[in-house]
Every structure is written in C-alpha cells, then in structure tokens.
Amino acid sequence: MRKSSVRKAIIPAAGMGTRFLPITRAQPKEMLPVVDKPVIQYVVEEAISSGIEDILIITGRGKRAIEDHFDISCELERKLKQNKDSRQFDEDRQISSMADIHYIRQKEQLGLGNAILHAEKHCDDEPFAVLLGDTITIPFKGEKSCTNQMIDSYNKYHSSIIAVEMVARKKIKDYGIIDGNELEDGIYSIKDIIEKPKPENAPSNLGAIGRYVLTPDIFDLLKDTKPGHGDEIQLTDALRKLNRPIGLVTKCRRYDIGDKLGWMKSSIELCLEREEFAEELRAFLNTLNCSEKMA
C-alpha cells in the first residue's frame, strides 16, 4: 500500500456510553455488534484501508474487551485448528494482526479533548487522524474511505480537516456545529465551531461527524482549553482556536452507534448489503410493512 502523509490514527474509545444505557453498564459501546463485527473493528479497518500504519486506542475503565478483541486468542485458534476450519482460523488471525495497535487509558472522564491530549507523545509532532470509536462510515460506491478522503484534503490544504454533514435541526444540540465560508462544493473554510449549540444559536446545520485530521499544534491548544459544554474539556473548543481549519462534506454514509436508533439503522442497512442475509431480511421487513398497514 502507498505510504500515507498521515501515518497515525487516534481512536478515542473511553466514553461511558450514557446514551446507550443500560447495555453500556458493563459493555463498551465500541464493542456493540453491527452484523457480525464490533463497531470498533469497522473503525480500525477504515484507518488501515486509509494507509494508516499505527493506531492508538484511548480506552478507560471497563473497556478491556476492546484489547481482548484485537489480541491473539490461543484457545480459539487451537479449537479452530482442531476443527480444521482454516477459513475461520485465517479470519481470526487477520483480526489480531491488523495493524500496530497501542492502548492508553484515560483515567478520568474529562472529555474528548482530554482524551486526545493523551496521544501527544504518541503522535510525536506528526499530523494524525482521529476516528471516534462509536462511529461507522461507509464510503459511497466507488469512493475512498472517509479518512482517505480527509487525508487527500489535508494534502491539498495543509490545514486540519473536520468531516461535517448536514444534520437535522433537532439533532444540532448533539454536534459540534461549524460556521464557515464555502470555498468549493462541500469544502468550507471554518471561522468558528460551537459544541452542541441550541438550534436557535447555531451558525449553520453542518455538524462534525467524528472524523478529523489534525495538525500537532492542537495539543498546545488543548492544554489551554478549560472545561466547556457538560463541564468537559471539549475538542471543539480547541479546534475553534486553530487557524482556519477546513470543513469537508465527505462522500460517505455515517452511523452514530452511540445512539440507539443509529445502531439499529446501521445493523439493518449493513445486513441488507450482505448477500447471505439480504433476501430473507428484506422479506421479513416487508412483512412488518404489511402488519403496519393492517394495524
């Protein structure tokens, strides 16, 4: 694979998952299954398919299942060998040898900005991608991965890149919302970004979707950032001090898995895209349509 100008990715996965209680009491939201893979595997695969060689996952208490997932399971491998299931064996090995994955713990839940600050030493003054561990992106047909599209924009503009998309008015309160001038179709020069504003105070309806390419100057800005929305250190509050970052409307679908409905939609849509499930699931969904009409 061609060497990328952005070699490192940070995957914050330390959040408590309060929007998905009660399942997240003892289960990391990043480990929720979507079809047959946990969410975080989609995220790691996106990073790797974008040419990233080195991944740092920021975890916290109760997130050990993430490390176990990407580790070698000797017992399972032994069993698969005994069963002579070489396809399953290869698939299992592939998961544990995906990339160089490193882990660091955020010991206190002080917010996304504070989580990213844990990556400073690891990034070693290089630009890096941030992929939120509870968000799946699927590129439109024929397009590169979301992170790859962002790296291309980074190479063009040499500025930090924030992936954005239009969000419904009632959802504005859940996102970092940008204020910007459109430079080209789907590309904005960002003047400001506000974390989770009320719709009446929002400068636009373009919300950050959880994918960023950042320059290392973000770390000093984060160190100077005081707790903001929700009394947490917000990445958004550091981003607004950057010199004109770029907002990019990426050519991809995005699912917010931290949200119950977002998770359900992702499971259904991605199942419909799998040949082995599509026909039966479609037939099943049609029966639901019928009973709705009858009700």
Query: Residues 216, 117: contact at Cβ < 8 Å?
Result: no
| Spatial distance between the Cα atoms of 281 and 133, rounded to a whole number of angstroms | 27
User: Which residue's structure tokens are 């580790």?
Assistant: 71
% helix, strand, coil for the chain, step of 5: 40, 25, 35
Q: Is 186 left (phi over 0), alpha (psi -120 to 50) or beta?
A: left
Is 51 among the residues that bind ligand G1P (CB under 6 A)? no
Nearer to ligand G1P, 56 or 202 (CB): 202
| Spatial distance between the Cα atoms of 249 and 187, rounded to a whole number of angstroms | 6
Q: Which of residues 190-219 bind ligand G1P (CB under 6 A)?
A: 195, 207-210
Options 256, 262, 270, 271; binder of ligand G1P; rule CB under 6 A: 256
| Site track 134-163 with ligand G1P (rule: CB under 6 A), x = hit | -x----------------------------
Instruction: State how beta strands 206-214 and 161-166 pair.
Output: antiparallel
Options 13, 132, 206, 257; binder of ligand G1P; rule CB under 6 A: 132
**Residue 62 beta carbon to ligand G1P: minimum distance, rounded to whole angstroms:** 17
**Residue 233 beta carbon to ligand G1P: minimum distance, rounded to whole angstroms:** 10
Options 38, 60, 176, 245; binder of ligand G1P; rule CB under 6 A: 176
**Residue 164 beta carbon to ligand G1P: minimum distance, rounded to whole angstroms:** 9
Q: Applying CB under 6 A, what is the total number of residues that bind ligand G1P?
A: 16
Nearer to ligand G1P, 51 or 262 (CB): 262
Is 165 among the residues that bind ligand G1P (CB under 6 A)? no
Residue whose beta carbon is closest to ligand G1P: 176
| Spatial distance between the Cα atoms of 282 and 88, rounded to a whole number of angstroms | 27
Q: Which residues pair with 164 in a beta bridge?
A: 208, 249
Q: Which of 31, 20, 9, 195 is nearest to 112 (CA)?
A: 195
* Interface residue list for ligand G1P (CB under 6 A): 15, 112, 132, 135, 175-176, 195, 207-210, 234-236, 256, 258
